[in-house]
Amino acid sequence: MESLKKNDDFRNCYRNGRSFANRYLVLYVWKNGLSNNRLGISVSKKVGNSVVRHHFCRLVRESYRHQEAGLDQGYDLVVVARTAANDVGYREISQALLSLAGKAGILHESAPEAD
């Protein structure tokens, strides 16, 4: 898994990409022209203190890692946490991410979609 690290990459995804949202997450998707996906995670201080924010980042990274094989490649993905995500577990985050990937149309046909 490759990460988005540069501010310009995040901005590019925000400006040019499409956004999809649910209760816990907002997903920005932009075709990057590469052969693999790059994942960026943004968590505001409104979500919680640094421990909570870092825990959320680990949950998203792990969820993405398990679902990466079922996703189309060649996209920049930015996951933004909503305040409702501050006290949810792995299962809810994983289902929310999979649901947004389905809405974005980047799931393989054989991958199961969660609602």
pLDDT at position 112:
52
Which residue segment(s) compose the domain that 56 sits in? 2-103
Residue 114 in domain: no
Q: Do residues 28 and 77 make contact, with C-beta atoms less than 8 angstroms apart?
A: yes
Residue 9 in domain: yes
Residue 95 in domain: yes
Q: Which of 114, 33, 32 is nearest to 70 (CA)?
A: 114
pLDDT at position 24:
95
Q: How many domains does the chain have?
A: 1
pLDDT tens for 48-83 read 999 999 999 999 999 999 999 999 999 999 999 999
Q: Which of 114, 82, 77, 79 is nearest to 99 (CA)?
A: 114
pLDDT band at 1 (very low <50, low <70, confident <90, very high): confident
pLDDT tens for 44-53 read 999 999 999 9
